[in-house]
Homo-oligomer: A and B are copies of this chain.
């Protein structure tokens, strides 16, 4: 509790853009997010008043950070689960807790737990030795469209934005990854039509709330665009995705936001990944839903009643802004041009130095015509990353 305001202090471990945007939401609720950042130049550390500098792998730094917090939550999954358990043993209120978070930290544990729940998942196997790869390949249906290969190898921990994922087309290619010594799981390549995401929130009280299901568009393993609601998604399929996410949140005891990344195939839904924090597939909610995922995460971890998840426009499109090659035009000039070209598109910049391929921000367009809304979002994102292709719309 903050004695100056009578309102709770939420601590977020990690100082990236998720903490930055959560701080914005905290301000409206009369709070000021406490941030544990690695560097004073982290996106959230640049804008928050209550910042501690320290490593999320340093248990003593975490203990100091947690003091006085009503609840501690996370901007990422990289806090060692053993540290979280140690904090819980100290009596710190952590959301999501270690028992839930392990399933967002370890893909092997996640797959086992989802299998036990009967949730739809790809065929998969743990990879302990080189021999496990051909054994897994042999277990797959050679009659599947596209055949058995390529197979997907995933690092069980630490992957994001396409990192820690390898598509291998032969046992030899697989061997190169296995030889690196990274702990892996193997998965069949799912014959997907497209990717969806179901973002829900759950409070300790057990209240759940689901945002509309979205389509996520990936390029090179990185999400570039999110469309809300997912176009041409049948109502029963959307409900199925929301119910699946709610069931996972409830069964795993998640507190806060749970994002369930899904593949849509010809026959149904398959769970790809879980994240237990505000997620890129929910950034559109800042303007596009009555309650943003960041406010919803705060409400959930504080055991406040959850907010209205309804859309604020028929279509909402978020496009990520990925850093491009330096072409001599400063970011401030780009912002200027974008504002002139698209006065209704909302800009979110994360305070990051531009590096090629790095997510430095996102833009959100709202509208009543899907094609026009996508065009404006893509156009705006293109303005921020490169002087070229500014007339480019979605493919």
Residues of A at under 8 Å CB distance from B? 1, 4-8, 20-21, 23-24, 26-30, 32, 41, 45-49, 51, 290-291, 299, 304-308, 310, 312-313, 330-332, 335-336, 339-340, 343-344, 346-354, 361, 366
Contact = CB atoms under 8 A, between A and B. Distances in A.
Contacts of A21: 27
Please provide the 3 A-B residue pairs with the shortest distance between their CB atoms, ordered closest to farther: A30-B349, A308-B344, A305-B340
A286 to B, nearest CB: 8
A353 B26 CA distance: 17
B4 A351 contact: yes
A344 B49 contact: no
B349 A28 contact: yes
A46 B4 contact: yes
17 contacts: A4-B46, A5-B46, A5-B351, A5-B352, A6-B331, A20-B27, A23-B27, A24-B24, A24-B28, A28-B347, A28-B349, A45-B49, A46-B49, A290-B344, A304-B336, A307-B339, A307-B343
Given A29-B347, A30-B351, 18 more contacts: A4-B41, A5-B352, A6-B331, A6-B332, A29-B349, A30-B335, A32-B46, A47-B49, A49-B49, A290-B344, A290-B366, A291-B343, A299-B339, A304-B335, A305-B339, A305-B343, A308-B343, A310-B344
A332 B307 CA distance: 16
A5 to B, nearest CB: 5
Given A23-B27, A307-B343, A332 B4 contact: no
Contacts of A308: 343-344
Nearest to A48: B49
A283 B26 CA distance: 17
Determine which residue in A47, A330, A339, A352 has the highest number of CB atoms from chain B within 10 A of its CB, and name it.
Answer: A47
A59 to B, nearest CB: 26
A47 B48 contact: yes
Nearest to A25: B24
A240 to B, nearest CB: 24
A157 to B, nearest CB: 30
Contacts of A331: 5-7, 30
A307 B340 CA distance: 8
Nearest to A364: B28
Contacts of A5: 46, 331, 349, 351-353
Contacts of A332: 1, 6-8
A299 B1 CA distance: 35
Given A7-B349, A299-B339, A344 B307 contact: yes
Contacts of A344: 290-291, 307-308, 310
A245 B27 CA distance: 31
A289 to B, nearest CB: 10
Nearest to A51: B49
A343 B4 contact: no
A51 B232 CA distance: 49
A61 to B, nearest CB: 20
Contacts of A313: 312
Contacts of A6: 330-332, 353-354
